Structure 1
Amino acid sequence: MFNISELINDSPIDSILLFVVTFILLVLAAYIGKYIFKRKAANEEASDDEAKIILGAILSLLGLLIGFVLSISINGYNNRQQTEENEAIAIGTAYQRAQLLNNSTDKAEASQLLQQYLEARIEFFKSGVSDENNQWRMISLDKQSQLWSIAVKEANQSPNPIVASVLSSFSDLYLSQQKTMASWRHQIPNATWFLLIFFAICSNILIGYNIRGTKGKNWLIIILPSLTTLALFMIAEIDIPGEGVIHVTPDDLALLQEFLFRDGAWISK
């Protein structure tokens, strides 16, 4: 059975497509308001006053909605940035604890696995929401499993608080990755986008209705569509995890990789 809510929620939001479609819709709405919905009547002055009141109310609501949605997208961006920092801390701690392993072979293998795990996490943050992103996630989960097996083997051979701390640090790798996955999604529901665009269209129709530009000065009518489109485009760019002009980059992870594993710094077999 056809479900409208599922169609709305499952529709992908592409920032470039949103920019183009929204700009066209808003410009058309403004000119529709100017050339079609404008009516000359005896009570023109009264109807114009009413239209201006409605326009002011809709513009106020549109501004509030844009500000609210922008704050949601920024919060999502900050959460993703914080999870990237937490992952860098967890990997650095795990590397330090791995040096406490008794078996030199296990120590070298754990260091190598952590290097590969760190590379996978960097690529994860670079790959956005593509299929490749899920591939890097599965690779990092596999490295976690191998690290856990090493720590469990050491714990079985010589259980002590030191090995317990190693187990705890390897467990934190999984926890930090799961927190990243919890934030690695669009924060703004698709229904919100449709509501924003609807309010923007209504406001631009009324802008066109109230415009008083003379012939040759109609270019002023595209100011609001342009500014509204840019605002929505910026929000969409911030809301896309790991992609777009504004996105979280794995700077902390890259610095950690350079510090720990430069010039073969990890312990080789």
Structure 2
Amino acid sequence: MREFLYSQDSMLVAILLLVSLFVIIELGVRVGRTRRDGASEAYRSHVNTIQGSILGLMALLLGFTFSMALQRFDARSDAMVDEANAIGTTYLRAQMLTPEVRGTVSSLLRDYVELRVAAVSVSLDHPAERQALVVRSTAVLDQIWIQAQRAVLVDPGPATSGLFIQTLNETIDSFGRHDAILNRHVPELVLFMLYGAVLLTGWVLGFSCGIAGHRPSGVAFAFGLAVVAIAFVIIDIDRPRRGLIQVNQSSLTSLAAEIVATEAARAQTSQPAPVAGRRSVTGRP
């Protein structure tokens, strides 16, 4: 089921949260003023104690939610690099196959990496376009697997076809793993709990100022602004394909450019031409 907050712009959510926080603070001040005359010193001390507890709860939720978002961001970054390495290694080992399948496999891998570059550029807000690219990528992988079966029949050697099938399996696994990780984000319920804690903190802050007989200071509003800024970073970093903070896609886009250039050179010379000088993060040949 599509979640409501995930489909909204991060900046819009942050602005609405900030406006709501300032409104809640003002309401708290006005309610506090109505209780000021009958508030004893013990009552005011009790309110201050509650305020400190709620501030601690909000800080805990902020840290917990930020940690969840950052872990998912790191997982998406690692999945991007792993998939690029798997595709690159598969392409290099495809050059060891017999001529009967080498050219076809290399061409299919070029098409596949271009589809993957297109897929990682599509926001999850466009599920139909994204699903179409996933289906096309799966179809290309199926064709590559058919060619791998042909390669085994022609040359069953473990140093050629065996290594190629091994890395092809890694490419297929990394494809599924990468797409699955892209769909993992901070649960919407956790975000609603965080926003509720922020607004509750604002109300208690305004209420305590009201019963004390003064307006919230500029420091209080600056604190609220800082909290909303952190909340914005959390929701922005949790959006894998949009916003200010995005996963670096250079590992996949650079690989695509190298393979496309290599295949173009091969088409001109009609000779095998593996990607020159490419080294994966894992150091595999």
TM-score by length of 2: 0.83
Whether 1:256 and 2:255 are equivalent positions in the alignment is yes
- TM-superposed CA distance for 1:175, in Å, is 0.2
Aligned to 1:31: 26
SS of 1:37 mapped into structure 2? helix
The one-letter amino acid paired with 1:176 is S
Identical counterparts, % of pairs: 23
- Equivalent positions of 1:185-264 (< 5 A) are 185-211=183-209, 221-262=220-261, 264=263
Aligned to 2:13: 18
- The separation in 2 between residues aligned to 1:213 and 1:187, in whole angstroms, is 43
- TM-superposed CA distance for 1:181, in Å, is 1.7
- Equivalent positions of 1:1-269 (< 5 A) are 10-13=3-6, 14=8, 15-38=10-33, 39-104=35-100, 106-129=101-124, 130-131=126-127, 132-161=129-158, 162-211=160-209, 221-262=220-261, 264-265=263-264, 267-268=266-267
Gaps of 5+ in 1: 1-5
- Calculate the aligned-residue CA RMSD, in Å: 2.2
The one-letter amino acid paired with 1:114 is L
User: Is the 1:260–1:266 Cα contact (8 Å) retained in structure 2?
Assistant: no
User: Is the 1:204–1:224 Cα contact (8 Å) retained in structure 2?
Assistant: no
Q: Cα deviation per residue 1:84-137 (whole Å; 9 max; x = unaligned)?
A: 000111011111111111124x21121111111111111222213122222222
Gaps of 5+ in 2: 271-285
The one-letter amino acid paired with 1:126 is S
User: Is the 1:154–1:163 Cα contact (8 Å) retained in structure 2?
Assistant: yes
Q: Cα deviation per residue 1:38-84 (whole Å; 9 max; x = unaligned)?
A: 31234432222111111111101111110111011101000000000
Aligned to 2:275: none
- The separation in 1 between residues aligned to 2:235 and 2:14, in whole angstroms, is 9
Count of equivalent residues? 260
User: Is the 1:111–1:266 Cα contact (8 Å) retained in structure 2?
Assistant: no
Q: Which moved more, 1:133-142 or 1:78-87?
A: 133-142
TM-score by length of 1: 0.88
SS of 1:46 mapped into structure 2? helix
